[in-house]
Structures are given as C-alpha cells and as structure tokens.
Structure 1
C-alpha cells in the first residue's frame, strides 16, 4: 500500500467514534437531540426523531389509528397487541413511505429482509420467538431499533505468536447501496429474523466469498462489538455485530460469488492498520478488525494510548431487549 502523506489520518479511537457516535448520558450534546421513545410492553425498544412524528400522524389519519403519540413516547394502539398485527401495520406504512425517498432516504436501500425487534415479553400469544414485531431492514434507523449482524475475520497464520497473522480483506462492490468501494471484513451480513448467527456466517461465506460450508463450519465465535450510531442528527442505529474467526490454510483463496464484493486481498496487520487510519474501511468493519487485533496482541496497552477507551467504546451497553435464544424458525439446511 502506498501512503499519500497529504491524506488525512485518523486515530484508532476516532474510527471507533465514527460508529459509536450517539452521545452518552454525560454528554451535553444529548440535550440538543429530539427523540421520542418507541414503546412496546411499557419498555423502550427504539428511538423516533420528532421530525418523523408528522408522518406517523398522517398515517394514523389514512387508516385505523396505529400509533399513540405523546410528547415523549410513541407506542402502538391497544388493538395492535401481538407480533402479526404490529408487523403488518408497520409493513403497510413502510410500503407507502418507500416511494417517498425525499422524506425517507434510508428506504432507498430497501432489502426485502425482515429484522426482529425484541421485547422482554415471551408470551407466544403476543410475540414470535421473543420478537414484538419484525421490520424491513432499511427502516431500522428510522425507528432506532436494535439491529444484529455477523462479521467473520478470515486469517492465515504466519508464525507461532498470536500476532503472526494476515487477514483477508474484502473490497465492497461499487454498486452497494451503502459504503460502495470501501474495505470490509472477509464475510459480513445482517441477520434476517429467523436465522441463527452461525447459519448466517455459513450462508454469507458461500454467497460473498465462495467458501464452502465444510470450511465455513470451522468458524468459531469470539464475542461481539456493539455501538450506537447517530446519523444526520435524526436517526439512530444501535447495532450488535456477532464476531467469528476462521483460520484458513494458505491454499484457500476467497473468491467473489455475488455482486456485493469486488475482490479480496491478503494483508499484513500493518497494511490493515494503515488502511484503518486512512479511513478506507466501512467503519463497523474497521471496528471488527480492531477487535481482532486486540485479541491477537497487535494492539496492546503498550503501543496504543487509547487502548482502554477503544475497548470500552467497542462494547457499548444497549438498553433495548434482545433475544434470549436466536430464533431458527426458517429453514437452515447448511
């Protein structure tokens, strides 16, 4: 990699803050924001900016009222008391909004993929595998609900020490709706409702990197990263990425299988760090790489002055409910 000295460089903590950008309770900037809590079962499950409220009120007028709106909260009307009714109401509204990209730009990345939104209530009469409702993936930021994904580091061992590794790095397709052309982990993907993390890793490995299931099944979970991103001051994205590692032999080369990845490169840790500092990675993918480097003693308390802050910001507590057990009601044949 050739370094251009005139290009801006970021600290590693700066990179993490690009993901974990929603103000903390002690930050005075929090008072400048204007969000309402999205409520189900009397507990918050998301955040809705006040600029979205008029659109909710308009939808209430077009059909049987769906939302109960106060100065601080948005909740569902009592007749929407179960998973199916809430999911159907949200879907009807989003199918109207998706054609108004001026007011709802995130819906330009419509995926036809549903994400589960969880509650503490697990009554099967009102929830589905612990989910209060399901929502189109691209709409999650409009409602500030907790989204989940998986990221897998593919690496090759080059020596006996933990830091003697190289990483397979993907470059995102220029046609991707988000972060086109930027660097990515070897395998990554959102978790559709009804699929487990492990299944998602295996599926995405084949779809993105042509890694067959018998190889991908050797991946092992190594923890999570979590953060809350503030987008344009009006949208929040609380996300948890479930992280896997997969050690590959030198005779296995990831190869693009679909249109989401341009190609793969096997890089040293120095090359990965340099690209992170230059802002070439999709931010949450950079964070997954940092998580890997901390675990492999590439980044240590001795060589990184922001070591503790980086670790803390990679593991933000997200107050919204999550699944007690990942639902797998969809077919998982792999």
Structure 2
C-alpha cells in the first residue's frame, strides 16, 4: 500500500449521507440522516428538517446550549444510540482560538461531526545511527483502535486546557515524561481531516509537535493506555505504515507530515504534491 492510500483513508466520507449541523449561522458539523431522525424527537433542543439539523435558536448562550444538548446526549447513551459517555468535553468552534459556542462530550463528537482538536508528539532520539522515533502500542483494552501503533504522546484536546497544558498532562500520563522535558516540545504545524470511522464522522485538527529526547530516557506508561514502547529507525516506521495497517489512521497522517518536514519525502518522491496537499481536509 502506498503512503498516498493512508492520506485517502483520512479524507474518505460521503457528504450525501449527511445533513449539516448548524449553530447560529455556521455549519459546525454533519449528522447522518438516521441520527437526524433521532434528534427530531428532541424538538426543544434541535430544529430538524430534511436538509439540516440546527441547535434551537431559543438556546442563545454557551451554557444554555451545552446543558440542553448534554441532556439529549445522555438520553441517547442510555438508549444505546451513542455507545458511551466519555466525561470529557470538546469545545465547539470552527477555528481554534475563537470563543466556543458550546461544549460537547467527546463520546458524541463523531455523531455530530463537530471539529475535534488534538495534540500529537513525535518523540525523537538522535543516535550515531541516525534518528530514532518512539512508537507506542495502544492497550488492547482501549475502546478506540486497540493494539494500534501510536505516537509517544497523543490525545484529544479537552475544553478548558491550553494546547501546552494538555501536552504536558498527556506526556506525564502516557509516557512519564517530566514537565520540564515536555515543555521543550516544539510546535511544527497542524493537520486536518474528515473521514468516516466506526465512532462516527471524524472532523479533526491535530496540532503536531517534535520532542527530542535524550538516549538515556525510556518512556513508561502510567495510565494503562499504552501496552509497550518501541524505539524504531525511520525506515522501520515507513515500512510498517506502507505495508501494514498497524498504525492508527491519524498517526500515519502525522508521521507522513514529519517525514515531509524532515526531508525523507522530497519533491522528487512519487505523489509528493498529493501527499503535501493531503495534510489538510477539503472544505465542503
């Protein structure tokens, strides 16, 4: 499988199967027609039509929207229409840095197709043999992508934390990286994608970081979400991304981004332009 196939995986969805999810005057996500019909049962919270689903215009504040929608989500969790309540909130905004219009439990994000934010960190070690990168294997107990290969640190961006605060928190929980070391992570840009997954429509923005770690450091998981860590040369990582489905889908995207930045994928490489363009989703 070519690297370009990994890009296509991150941008695969069928707009005709969805209706826009609107708050105020802007589209903030997309819901399936089936899910829209379930939301029509909650007419005090959602205004539904054949063409769209809209948060009721009677809900005019951050708190009003958040509380009302949360009530619906909890009922849908009870009926099994949404598999689980995560008790972790995402801000709903179309652009990071803008005041969110409301917050929503992470477990429902894919069902509304809202824009989720996350942080992904490349844990890099300089050795005499060249660069090595730490790879984590996700626990088999994880409900999302169990056993898949992942970054040394990666996680969704919850409401109420800055990107750096979240990076430091995730670094400590996932790899036992001290705060002073985690703070040395350098921002390297962002990625965006929209694709259909088992947990709904993923419409995400990932903030990417590089963290150079000393050879003497060995990550240790502290929250039970990572089964094992491996320190691999880039050639091994490229081989696993290209020839297996072992990596989590968005980790492949972020790793290709890293390979482009490091010059391991060059303008003379096949599909270079398509790979670079594939770092961001297409607007609807």
TM-score range, shorter chain: over 0.9
CA positional deviation for 1:316: 2.1
Do the aligned residues in 1 keep the contact of 2:24 with 2:57 (CA within 8 Å)?
A: no
Q: Where do 1:87-102 residues align within 5 Å? A: 87-101=66-80
Alignment gaps of 5+ in structure 1? 1-9, 24-29, 123-128, 320-334
What is residue 63 of structure 2 aligned with on the other side? 84
TM-score, with length taken from structure 1: 0.80
Q: Where do 1:204-219 residues align within 5 Å? A: 204-219=170-185
Larger Cα-atom Rg: 1
What is residue 313 of structure 1 aligned with on the other side? 278
User: What is the rounded CA distance, in whole Å, between the counterparts of 2:9 and 2:94 in structure 1?
Assistant: 28
What is residue 21 of structure 1 aligned with on the other side? 12
User: What is the rounded CA distance, in whole Å, between the counterparts of 2:107 and 2:277 in structure 1?
Assistant: 28
- Residue of 51, 57, 60 corresponding to 2:34: 51
What is residue 169 of structure 1 aligned with on the other side? 135
More strand by share: 2
What is the aligned residue count? 282
Q: Over the residues paired in the alignment, what is the CA RMSD in angstroms?
A: 1.9
Spell out structure 1 runs of 4+ moving beyond 3 A: none
Q: Is 1:111 aligned with 2:90? A: no
CA positional deviation for 1:90: 0.9
Alignment gaps of 5+ in structure 2? none
Do the aligned residues in 1 keep the contact of 2:40 with 2:47 (CA within 8 Å)?
A: no
Do the aligned residues in 2 keep the contact of 1:46 with 1:145 (CA within 8 Å)?
A: yes
Q: Is 1:146 aligned with 2:99? A: no
Give CA deviations for 1:208-249 in whole Å, capped at 9, x if unaligned. Answer: 0000001111101000111111236x9421101000100011
CA positional deviation for 1:185: 0.5
Give CA deviations for 1:270-316 in whole Å, capped at 9, x if unaligned. Answer: 110111121110010111111111111112222x3111111111122
TM-score, with length taken from structure 2: 0.94
What is residue 227 of structure 1 aligned with on the other side? 193
User: What is the rounded CA distance, in whole Å, between the counterparts of 2:28 and 2:208 in structure 1?
Assistant: 23
Do the aligned residues in 1 keep the contact of 2:17 with 2:32 (CA within 8 Å)?
A: yes
- Residue of 72, 96, 99 corresponding to 1:130: 99
User: What is the rounded CA distance, in whole Å, between the counterparts of 1:97 and 1:310 in structure 2?
Assistant: 39
User: What is the rounded CA distance, in whole Å, between the counterparts of 1:174 and 1:294 in structure 2?
Assistant: 31
What is residue 218 of structure 2 aligned with on the other side? 253
